[in-house]
Amino acid sequence: TTPSALEHFTVNFTITNLPYNSDLENPDSAKFRATQRVMNTLLERLLKKSSIGTSFHGCETTDFRYEPGSHRDETRVDAVCTYSKEPWAAPLDRVGLYHEVSNKTRGITQLGPYSLDKDSLY
């Protein structure tokens, strides 16, 4: 059999109750690392319970950003998630996964203690 390949997909969303500050720009800051750990854990819990759960490997939050013109209490989150792509498996159903995530986040409004901008998930 052909071994599975690791595939990546990105997840982007905006948290509306995580005030952005310069510590979130610096990957070496304690604030960045602590927030990154929380985001990784929340995303992993969410995706392990999805249709890709058995092949899901994890997520790594890569960036916290402030969008010019947005509120300072909003922080944009970028993450890269990894799963095993089996040679016999269908391609990742991004639309289906989007709908699953939407359902598990109350219509893209809540991720753990965080409030989400319902129009921000990509």
Residue type, 118: K
- The predicted pLDDT at position 70 comes to 74
Q: Which of 109, 111, 106, 7 is nearest to 52 (CA)?
A: 7
- Does residue 37 lie within any of the structural domains? yes
Top pLDDT among 67 and 52 is at: 52
Q: How many CA atoms lie within 13 A of 47 on its CB side?
A: 25
* pLDDT at residue 76, rounded to an integer: 95
Give the C-alpha separation, 80 to 47, whole Å.
12
Instruction: Say what the pLDDT of residue 99 is.
Output: 96
Q: Report if residue 32 sits inside a domain.
A: yes
Residue 122 in any domain: the answer is no
* Domain range enclosing 45: 5-117
CATH number of the domain encompassing residue 94: 3.30.70.960
Do the domain assignments include residue 50?
yes
Within 13 Å, how many C-alpha atoms sit on residue 78's CB side? 9
Average confidence (pLDDT) over 15-28: 94
Mean per-residue pLDDT, 58-69: 91
Instruction: Convert the pLDDT of each residue in 75-102 to its tens digit.
Output: 999 999 999 988 877 888 999 999 999 9
Asked whether residue 35 carries a pLDDT value surpassing 80, the answer given is yes
Q: For residue 53, is it within any domain?
A: yes
Looking at the 3D structure of the chain, how many domains does it have?
Answer: 1
